[in-house]
Chains A and B, each alone.
Chain A
Amino acid sequence: MVYVLIFIVLLFVPRLLSIHDLMLFEYGLTFAIVGLGFNLLLGYTGLLSFGHGAYFAAGAYTVGMIAKYLPEAYRLEILIPAALLFSLILAVIFGFLCVRHTKIFFSILALSLSMLLYALLFKLYHLTGGSDGLRIPLPSLLGISFKGIRRPEFLSGTYYYVLLVLFAFSCVIMKGIVSSPFGKALQAIRDNEVRAELIGIRVRRYRLYAFCISGMFVGLGGALWTFVNGHVTADLSHWVFSGEIVYMTLLGGFGIFEGPIIGAILFTYLKLYAMGNTQYWMFVIGATLIVLVMLLPNGVAGAFVSLFAKLKRRKAAEGSAC
């Protein structure tokens, strides 16, 4: 019920925020989708990938490449499924190599593969624009063209609602996945892969499923991000960018469903605040991360939940003492 209310409130956001703040919020929403996908793999299946930027890049470059080479197909209703498709393909290939390993090896391999994509995107500059990247013009939607409209108008109008709806969809679908028997199986793998195998779960195979679904969500986020950013570059596949994805998820807390959403939005603001106020924003972000890991291991949302639980217990104790 609360979520329906939140959704309704979110519908009014374009009226409430300035265009600049709205764009920031939209960045946050796209990363929230990314975070949801990423956390399926981290929080629910127990695999930490420092290479998920690859799938973000896959989704983003799908949009960019279609813009450049297939402009007739440059429509949202084609772009979104295409982005999902290509990030899925990439996730299947990379995932197949990665899930044969666990823990550190998995993380290193995921990282290395994303850097492979980075190198390819960087070097094949004839195709991909290399370090200059690709421009992202405004797409059309269901026949409606946005030629002549400037990006900020597009973003505060139609696009916001498209993004919001897709975000809501992502939340609903992901929530369904994690509460389902499939989701329970993933959690069993996370908690004890030996026992999971012993109760008949093919661990490697289910890890791959989780990896692919996760990749698709991240790719969707990447594609949606491109319209807000207007531009895609190879950095999206660099492992430091992947690290930011991990950071966001931890910031919000990877033990709760809503954690990554909150983390994504917080991180977007945090990063921008830091970048706007000092040239040493990496220091700020890095120091914040260190403090966060040491003091708030369950993330911001997790800390709230613990606090809430503690207050509840105290109330119950007081109540029974009377």
Chain B
Amino acid sequence: MWVVYTLNGLYFAALLFLTSLGLNIILGVMGILNLAHGSLYAIGAFMAAWTVIQIVAKAPPFVLYLSLLSGLVLAGIVGFLMEKSFIRAMYKRTLEYQLLLTFGALLLLEDVIKMIWGGQAYYASAPFDLLGNVDILGHVYPTYFLFVMLITLLAGLFVWFFMGRTKLGIMLRAISLDREMATGLGLDIGRLSTFAFVLGSGLAGLAGALVVPTTPALLGIGMEPLILAFIVVVVGGLGSLKGALVGALLVGFTRSFGIAILPEIELPLLFLIAGIILVVKPQGLFGR
């Protein structure tokens, strides 16, 4: 059974990694803690679920998986609209206003989701069912979970490569290190910030999209991932890719083993571990 628990841990960690990576990018590049991040996850989930349900009878399997990406796309678009309309105005303001603004966005978006998709649950299990199960070390394990891990790995590599090797990525990192200096170097902070926000939002949407074949899309689906993402950021350290990875793994495994051993203590155990880490290392494991 430990094999299954470990794999589950990796699965949870994968989804968490995507979500907190997005949060971290926005936080790192723009210095904004986006409380509406969970809503973007939810948007990704609903969009993907809805799309899959629409085309499941007519489309070939490959297209079905591709359609999950619709969640990423819509989340990115919403992120773009958010950034352009009001997040933009928040750079000069203090933290309180930023948090309040994104909180307002959260309330707004939760109801927008309700307006568009109503209050019902969307079951889009086809992508999960189609992949069937695989045999790992004598245990039967759903292939879809491995698929999710693969996608996350690809996404992670993409971001790592992007941030480290491409001109655009390096510019984003420059801004996160020192905003004023970056302006001095002539970087177009405005456009780059929009890009960072869209990227972060897209990652959240992707995570939401990937989860719907296993869980129905319901109102409030983004709340728990948001809190967990916060814990990952706090434990892993602000603005650190490595931190997001390690944090996600830590939280993912605690979740997996916690649920298996004693479901009630899972969340408190998580907080306990996070609390201990913070007491010992206040900036998080890899924080700046």
Residue A119 interfacial (CB < 8 Å)? yes
C-beta contact mask, A115-127 vs B, less than 8 Å → 1, else 0? 1100110011000
Task: Give Cα distance in the complex from A77 to B95, angstroms.
Answer: 40
Considering the complex, which residues of chain B in the window 76-113 have a beta carbon less than 8 Å from any beta carbon of chain A?
Answer: 86, 89, 93, 95-97, 99-101, 103-112
Residue A140 interfacial (CB < 8 Å)? no
Chain B contacts of A288 at CB under 8 A?
Answer: 104
Chain B contacts of A240 at CB under 8 A?
Answer: 106
Task: Give Cα distance in the complex from A297 to B114, angstroms.
Answer: 29
C-beta contact mask, A234-271 vs B, less than 8 Å → 1, else 0? 00000110010011001000100000000000000000
Q: B104, A293: Cβ atoms under 8 Å?
A: yes
Chain B contacts of A280 at CB under 8 A?
Answer: 111, 114-115
Which of B1-9, B142-150, B197-205, B227-235 is the interface stretch?
B227-235
Q: A97, B108: Cβ atoms under 8 Å?
A: no
Chain B contacts of A247 at CB under 8 A?
Answer: 100, 103
Q: A290, B101: Cβ atoms under 8 Å?
A: yes
Q: B234, A286: Cβ atoms under 8 Å?
A: no
Q: B234, A112: Cβ atoms under 8 Å?
A: yes
Residue A65 interfacial (CB < 8 Å)? no
Q: Looking at the complex, which one of B95, B234, B268, B282 makes contact with A48 (CB distance below 8 Å)?
A: B95
Which of A1-9, A12-20, A98-106, A167-175 is the interface stretch?
A98-106
Residue B33 interfacial (CB < 8 Å)? yes
Chain A contacts of B185 at CB under 8 A?
Answer: none
Q: Looking at the complex, which one of A107, A246, A282, A294 makes contact with B107 (CB distance below 8 Å)?
A: A282
Residue B163 interfacial (CB < 8 Å)? no
| Shortest distance from the beta carbon of B42 to any chain A beta carbon, whole Å | 13
The contact size tier of chain A is 35 or more
Residue A50 interfacial (CB < 8 Å)? yes
Q: A283, B95: Cβ atoms under 8 Å?
A: no
Chain B contacts of A111 at CB under 8 A?
Answer: 227, 230
C-beta contact mask, B234-268 vs A, less than 8 Å → 1, else 0? 10001000000000000000000000000010011
Chain B contacts of A113 at CB under 8 A?
Answer: 271
| Shortest distance from the beta carbon of B109 to any chain A beta carbon, whole Å | 8
| Shortest distance from the beta carbon of A18 to any chain B beta carbon, whole Å | 29
Chain B contacts of A105 at CB under 8 A?
Answer: 234, 238, 282-283
Residue A287 interfacial (CB < 8 Å)? yes
Residue A108 interfacial (CB < 8 Å)? yes
Chain A contacts of B267 at CB under 8 A?
Answer: 115-116, 119, 123
Q: A50, B99: Cβ atoms under 8 Å?
A: yes
Q: A107, B271: Cβ atoms under 8 Å?
A: no
Q: B105, A286: Cβ atoms under 8 Å?
A: yes
Residue B279 interfacial (CB < 8 Å)? yes
Residue B45 interfacial (CB < 8 Å)? no
Chain B contacts of A120 at CB under 8 A?
Answer: 268
Q: A290, B104: Cβ atoms under 8 Å?
A: yes
Chain B contacts of A124 at CB under 8 A?
Answer: 264
Instruction: Name 12 A/B residue pairs within 8 A (Cβ), A-sorted.
Output: A48-B99, A100-B278, A103-B95, A105-B238, A105-B283, A112-B231, A112-B234, A247-B100, A286-B106, A286-B108, A289-B100, A297-B97
| Residue ranges of A at the interface with B (Cβ–Cβ < 8 Å) | 42, 48, 50, 97, 100-101, 103-105, 107-109, 111-113, 115-116, 119-120, 123-124, 239-240, 243, 246-247, 250, 254, 279-283, 285-290, 292-294, 297
Known contacts A104-B33, A289-B104, A290-B108; 16 additional CB pairs below 8 A are: A42-B96, A97-B279, A100-B282, A105-B234, A108-B234, A109-B278, A115-B227, A116-B271, A246-B96, A282-B110, A286-B105, A289-B101, A290-B104, A292-B104, A293-B100, A293-B101
| Residue ranges of B at the interface with A (Cβ–Cβ < 8 Å) | 27, 33, 35, 86, 89, 93, 95-97, 99-101, 103-112, 114-115, 227, 230-231, 233-234, 238, 264, 267-268, 271, 274-275, 278-279, 282-283
Closest 6 CB pairs of A and B: A286-B107, A289-B104, A286-B108, A283-B111, A119-B267, A290-B104
